[in-house]
Each structure stands twice: as C-alpha cells, then as structure tokens.
Amino acid sequence: MQISETLVAAIRREFPHFRIVPKRHDLLSQVLDRLLRIITFGSQNQFMASYHTVIGNTLYVPDAWERTSDVDRAIVLRHERVHLRQRRRHGFLLFAFLYLVPIFPIGLAYGRARLEWEAYAETLLATAELKGLAAANDVALREKIIERFTGGDYGWMWPFRHQIERWYEQTLSDLAEHDSAPRGLDRTNIEDDE
C-alpha cells in the first residue's frame, strides 16, 4: 500500500469522518476562493490551484493533488493532521476564531501563525523522515515556508521575517538532533505518543 493511503487510513482511525474533496467542483471552496482574493487584494490567487485546506473533517485538495507524488501527499497529510488535532484540542469555534478572525487585522494574525507554525514543523519532520534531512534543509522549501508566513498568500499573517527565520533554524536544528538519535522502529508512532 502507498504511504499516503496508509496515512489516510490512520487518520480515519483517529477522525472517522475524515474525507478528501477536490476543490474544483466544491461550492464552499469556490466561495472561499473569491473571499480570499478580496481580503488579500488579489494576492492569494492560488487557493484552488495549489493550496490544501482543512475545514471540519474534510481536506479540500487543489487541482495539483492528482499529479502529486505519494510521498508529497503523505507530507501534506501529516501537516493537515496537525490541523485536525488542533481543532480537536481547541474545539471548532476556538480553532476557527484563532485561525480566521485574526486575519482581519491583516498582517498580525498571531493565533493563526502559531497554528501554522506547529503544522509546518510537522511538514519539516515528515520531509526529513520521508525524503531525508537534506530535503528538509532545502533552500527552496525554506523560502516557500517562510513566504507563507510573511507574504500575501495567508494575508501577511506574520510579517516579522527575522522571527520566522529564527523559528525555522531552531526547528531544523531540533530535527538534526532528532535524526542523530537512535532510531525506533517507527518514529511516527513514537511521536504520536508524546
């Protein structure tokens, strides 16, 4: 079985109503796409084409999902599983509040940045585990992730680039330590228990 299919099965054991829906033919996604273009002054125009979005138990996938490799799908699923767990931890309303409302003072969405940071730390961990530490240290990936925080895609959610860079370096150095530690049979499962 493919890694991503195994992960979907694991997510369904944890969140039985989890499902994956393509954005292209979904009305809610089309409405969100319009809304995001408006509140980011047209800066977020890739919502349908390349962004993954979790709402409730549903992962809405962009057009690119069909062409995404098994390993890259697995990395996305690991990131989105963090958001599912955040929602369970905070409850839907608080999660939606932390995630959505702070958009409005555009450029200072701290609650949102914290939630995304936790999810991107998992993206880096999954990348290191599935593609190797060198892939997690890739400069293009670093730029893409930092840009998600400081750029218009998420409404300039946290524009303090130095702070994001420090977070990033810290996460990578934690990963390097993690990587040099003795390996368990399956670190993904070990990590779930922490």
Residues that bind Zn ion (CB under 5 A): 116, 119
Residue 121 half-sphere exposure, CB side, CA atoms within 13 Å? 20
**Residue showing the smallest CB distance to Zn ion in the complex:** 119
**Least gap, CB of 124 to Zn ion (angstroms):** 13
Q: Which residue, 119 or 126, is less far from Zn ion as judged by CB?
A: 119
**Least gap, CB of 120 to Zn ion (angstroms):** 7
What distances in angstroms separate CA 183 from CA 84, 129, 136, 179, 190, one per listed residue?
A: 27, 11, 18, 8, 10
**Least gap, CB of 79 to Zn ion (angstroms):** 6
Q: Which residue, 4 or 99, is less far from Zn ion as judged by CB?
A: 99
Contacts by residues 168-176 (CB-CB < 8 Å, ≥ 24 positions apart): 168/142, 171/120, 171/121, 171/124, 172/124, 172/136, 172/137, 175/124, 175/125, 175/128, 175/133, 175/136, 176/133
**Least gap, CB of 145 to Zn ion (angstroms):** 10
Q: Which residue, 129 or 153, is less far from Zn ion as judged by CB?
A: 153
Q: Which residue, 90 or 179, is less far from Zn ion as judged by CB?
A: 90
